[in-house]
Structure formats: C-alpha cells, structure tokens
A and B are shown apart, each in its own frame.
Chain A
C-alpha cells in the first residue's frame, strides 16, 4: 500500500503526465503553424547555438512561439516572425541553471544565517543579468518555513525558483539550530516533496553539521522516501570527517557533494591532496560511482589551489554553481557568469561550461524539462557575448588567475519573454537629432 502510494505521488510520474500534455500541446502547435504565416513571436537570428542535450554546437536560428521553443534550424525566414533579434556574433545557450543559491530573503531578526534574512539575496537581482533563468535554493528553508519562503519569495519571483529542502525543519536560521537531530524528520520531508510541493522541491540539503554522519544519513533517508537527491555541505567538522567514507559509504549515486574546490585548514577534507596536489584516487572513483560534484563557489569555497590541479588531472565538476549570498556576491564569486568564466580561464571549453550549467544540473535535479532547447520546451534561454581581453579571476584566498575571455549576458529570455537586454538588442533604434 505504502509502495503504491509513494509511486502515485512520485515526481517522475508527475513529469510523465506533464510530458503527455507537452506532446499534445506540440501537436496543436504544429497545426497552428500551418495556419499562420507569421507564426513566430521572437526569432533569434545568426547566433551560434550550444545545446548540449541535443548535441548542437553550430550556427542556428531559434524561433519562439507562445513562450516555447518552436523551431531550431539553420536558416529560419525572417518573414515568418513578428519580432526578429539579430544576435550575430553571440552564443545562444539554454537558460542557465544555478543549482546552488540562497534566495530566502526576509527580515527575521533572530535568523543569523540565510533563512528568511537579508543574508539571502533576491533571485531577480542576480539571475537574468547573468543569463540565469532557474535557481535552486540550497536548503535555506526546511519543512517548517518552506511555505513562508514560497509565499514570500518563490511565488513573487520572475526567476524560476526551485529548492532543496533542508533536512532540518527550521532550515538555515542559525548554526545551533542546524545541530538539532530531533528536528531532522525524514517522513515529513518526504511528504513535503512528494505530496505538497512536488514541482518546486527537488532534493534535500544537509549542511553545517558538527557531528558524525547523522545529518547526512537523515538526509539520505529523506531522499530515499522522496526519491530525490541530497546535497551535502560537509564543511564544519572538527576534525574533518572522512570524505572517502561520505562518498563511498553514505551517498547514493546521484547525491551531490558541494563546495568541491574548497580548501580550508579545518572542517572539510579537500578533494585534492594539499601536499602532493594530486586528486585523491577515491574522488575519481566516487564520480564514477555517480556522486555529483557541485562547485558551490560561495564566499569561502573555491580555491585555485584545488580547482586548477583538479582540472589539469581531468577531474571536472559535474555542475557549476555560485552559492549566492551576502558574503559571496561582492567577493571572488560575483555572479554566475563570473564563476562560469573562471572555468573558461582554466581552459574548459565553452560547450563544456554550458553543459555543466544547464543540462547537467537539470538531470541532477530530475528536471529533464529544463536545461535544453528542444522543440516544445519552455523558452528559457540566454544569449552570451564572449568578451575578449585580460580579466582577473579571484578565489577565496585572493589569488587571481588571468583569463582572456569573459562571459557577458546580452539577452535573457524566460518563458518567451525578454527579461534582460544588456545593449537593447530587442529595442527599437533611436537616432540623435542634430
């Protein structure tokens, strides 16, 4: 009985339903296309399209109808579109997914962390200007205050906000509250995800725990009940807990280790050996096993001394993300496009960077409807300019790597609507009268 119930409310099942509707919608859409000459609402013309899911890496036009991707082709005639935006010289990518942010902005004066406080930031203030259309809040709220987070922030945001539910009922309102093992309730967490908010909650977060593996294990227990991944910030144990044990004994394939390139003297074991500068062998093994490695740059969790050797030895993060909050936004992190640019600076190809910030995170959070530009998908996309020059990229230790490229979001479209337009590409021309 329980098994049947959980299957009924399984997220995957819900998405199958959504997909059925998608394909019906698509058929209707095709019929419409035959009946109108100017069927395309927005036509993006002349850019290089990078769509890792569909293995597209070439010059392509993209047509949007009713907020959905309607056509992707080498040359879509101008006559077929109501609005044409010339994006020659730029790159089109699926809307960027920032899988690790803190956006539960509020004014709880008793919160000392990112839960319902001004330490969290507004999603819309950081997303669109960097090509991001979806953010995933990483455990700022737990089952007790998620409804408030939803009402206060998620429902009022233009950015799509998804969330990892904190394993702690109170979420991140303070370090001491995060130690309360009695407030880790897997059954309630699973109800929240399966029954109450299946379209918003994508996983469970375990963070800032000082004890052994209780928090991780309770998160995994919740994750098993809800059939979702967990994300672990494993950084505040003294002495540090074994990450080998975490990766190989506690996490399941699909679970996420965040702050991958953190190097701190106490609290967290590094993935790259601090003496030999070699990636620890079990790290490769863990990734092979299916453990997901997330950047989660943040204010203190990205060191070149980890990231560069790791990159050179072929250990790439599965997902690139920012860990946006008050302490990271004005430091080396800055914004998601800056974090992506850091990987360009290390030598990663743009295609690879896009994969790790669109289709990869979409798969990790079990949202295969996002992170690509397949026909019929919601028209969330970004147009990037790759600026050439000399740019400095700083890590948390205030060491800088010089790069020659920098990503700049020219245009961001969310559900078919232009929500960011850096240089007025979509605006009309206006001449100065002499």
Chain B
C-alpha cells in the first residue's frame, strides 16, 4: 500500500512536473511574445483596400513585415508604441509616374531635370516610386547603380523602348532601327524585380513601329505598357485602341493642343475613352507641369472615370508649380469629390496591381511593412491646375509617418520621439 501510495505520490508528482513543464511551454512563448512586436501603430483608421478594411485597427510590425492586424493589440506586447488615433493608416503610397534618374547633365537622363527619390517620397508617405521611361535598356544599369540601389525609397522603372530613354522635354524621332524588342525584353528579364513595364512617349514621327515595339516587349514579359505624351502624330483614339487591358495611359486629364482631351466640347467623356476604360485600360494622373486640368478631371470623375493612380510626373518644373507633391495631387481629388477610401486605393493598391506587384500596396500579414500614416488637416486651401485655374478646398493630406520595410523614414511631428524634459 505504502509502496503503492508512494508510487501514486510519485506519479502525482511527475504529473505535476509535467503540468508545470506543459504550462511553461504554453506560457513562455507568450512571455517572449510579450515583447515580440517592433512597432505598434495604435488607434488609427486603417484603410487597406486590398483586404477591404476600413476601420479602427492596430497594426503591428515585426522584422520589417506586417505581423498582426487587430482591433486591439496590447501595448505591452510592443517595443515601440505610436498613438496614431485620428490618423489614417494606409499602405505605403506608390507614385508610378516619376523622373528620378537624377544626375548632373542637362535634361532628364542622368540629369538635373530629374529628382532624387528620397528628397520627395518619404515626406509624402510614398515608399515606392516608378521612373517613367527616363532610361532604356542601355542606360538602366547606370540608373540602377546611381539611383535605385542607394535610395531608401523603393525605385522601380518603366523602361523606354528608346535604348537610352529620354532626356529632353520635347518629342524626337530616333532611328527606328535602334528600337530593339529583344534587348528590352532581356533587360526586363535581367532585372525582373526592378523593371515594371515598358514606356512609349516623346516621339514626333508618324510610324507606329515605336509604339508597337514597346507594346510587344511588354506583352512578351507580361507587363504593362506605359503610354506618355508628346506624340503629336498619334491620335488619342488610335493610342487607346492599340492599348491592351492593363496598359496605362498617363497625363489622362491634360488639355493641350498636342493631344485630344478625353472630355469633349460638351463636357462629355468621349465614347472611345469610356470604351477603353471598360476594356481595362488604366488612367494615371501624371500631373506634371501641364498634365492636369480641372476641366478634364472634374467631368471625368463625375462621369465615373476615376484615376487608377496619382502619378505626379515629378520633375524640376512640376515640383514648384501646381503639382507640388503627390499628397497635394490627392488633396485635389479630395476637394473635387473623390472619397477617402477611393483615394487611398488609387494611392496604393490599384497602382501596385497595375505594375503587377501585388506584394506591394497592401498590409496583409507577412507583407513588407511599407506604411503611410496620414492626417487630414482642415483649413482654407487653394489648389491650382496646369492652366493656372484655382479651386478652393478645406481639407488637405499631410504625411505624419512613413515606414519603409519596418523602418521609420519620415516622422513629421516626432510621433516616435521621446518628449524633451527640461
């Protein structure tokens, strides 16, 4: 009996030990978990269009990735907690129309008309920019070494069908024999993570060879063709007809003599424009210096043509004119009646999809922690278009915090700072 008893005591004891061990196994990870989050954004309005989220949600970042999204994540579980209540938490914004091959030469290519990405992206909530054809297959490696690799901002590119990209603002006519689909395709295959598609623009000839070759290279590599302006001999209708579903037209809302505007004299969107939209052609703003007019954008918005992306066409002359920065372009759309969720979608998830980078522009668990925290400030603001026309608004986007791969690269008001004590 005693033996039995002591046996059973031992068994109980062993059972207890096992319980403790089991308990420890269950609890320990939680204790470790207690500090597992690197960065916790608390109390913001999360807008994640891909995941159809528009509600108050906490966002947790760990190891540069989105770790957890929940209505309430305890502060004790995070090393750094930022109170972002009253602010919008959005996927890092994507600017698909920039010129960032900045260098010392005159013009855009390796030139002074282009801008350095880190000088304007972080302060506008942007974590990814796409250069629009400033390089071709011959010059992309130089661009990659000088700009793409050293930048904090993720820099991608549409490469030009013209082998050295473009440099001057005006259209030109290259030797058509120099247009090489195979070399363009090879470049894309060599840099698949950096080259998002091909680009056509700044062509003053009548031949459709450049357009077709750019389209062909895009098609072979399963990427979009990005269609810019300064192609006076191509009609808008022909361009749109030649574009495939998923191809992107930019400067969509321009009103210049060089290209027929999308809205007709009666203020109606032209039938072939609607037809192109229905077919899946995507419309980028491409604001730039002369590419955005309220008399196009407002009727288009009312008739259901929302911009798919807010490409700014950032360059030397647009940056200090009516464009200013991407948040200013988004604020224009806020002022003319686009909803906040629609604006965030066209600032993040829609452009990500358009460049076939579904890993970007969303805050799904496990995705790279590229995040923008935005405020909407109230006051009296004026917004000017490319014609010098002004509208008044009472709201404006401001970038509070920009996070790139989990790292804070912009902090307007020191949300992540400790208060100074005297």
Contacts and interface: CB of A to CB of B under 8 A. Distances in A.
B362 interface: no
A420 interface: yes
Interface stretch (B88-96, B341-349, B363-371, B410-418): B410-418
A304 B419 CA distance: 10
Contacts of B147: 118
Contacts of A399: 417-420
Interface stretch (A233-241, A266-274, A424-432): A424-432
Contacts of B322: 424
Contacts of A330: 118, 122-123, 152, 409-410
B419 A107 contact: no
A430 B146 contact: no
B415 A392 contact: yes
A185 interface: no
A187 to B, nearest CB: 29
Interface residues on B, range: 35 or more
B298 A433 contact: yes
B385 A393 contact: no
Contact of B391 (A304, A334, A419, A430): A430
A227 interface: no
Nearest to A125: B119
A400 B391 contact: no
B298 A125 contact: no
A114 to B, nearest CB: 13
Interface residues of A, number: 49
Contact of A107 (B120, B146, B320, B420): B146
Given A392-B413, A400-B417, A425-B382, A122 B320 contact: no
B116 A122 contact: yes
Interface string A317-348: 00000000010011010100000000000000
Interface stretch (B13-21, B102-110, B240-248): B102-110
B420 A152 contact: no
B8 interface: no
A156 B106 contact: yes
Contact of A428 (B383, B388, B416): B388
B171 interface: no
A255 interface: no
Interface string B119-147: 11011000000000000000000000111
A124 B267 CA distance: 37
18 contacts: A106-B103, A121-B119, A122-B102, A124-B320, A125-B116, A153-B104, A153-B112, A308-B422, A330-B122, A330-B152, A334-B123, A391-B413, A394-B417, A424-B382, A427-B384, A427-B389, A430-B294, A432-B391
Give 7 closest A-B pairs by Cβ, nearest first: A400-B414, A392-B414, A430-B389, A392-B413, A423-B382, A424-B382, A400-B417
Interface of A: 105-107, 109, 116, 118, 121-122, 124-126, 128-129, 152-153, 156, 304-305, 308, 326, 329-330, 332, 334, 390-395, 398-402, 419-425, 427-433
Given A394-B414, A431-B391, 6 more contacts: A105-B104, A125-B116, A152-B104, A427-B384, A428-B390, A429-B390
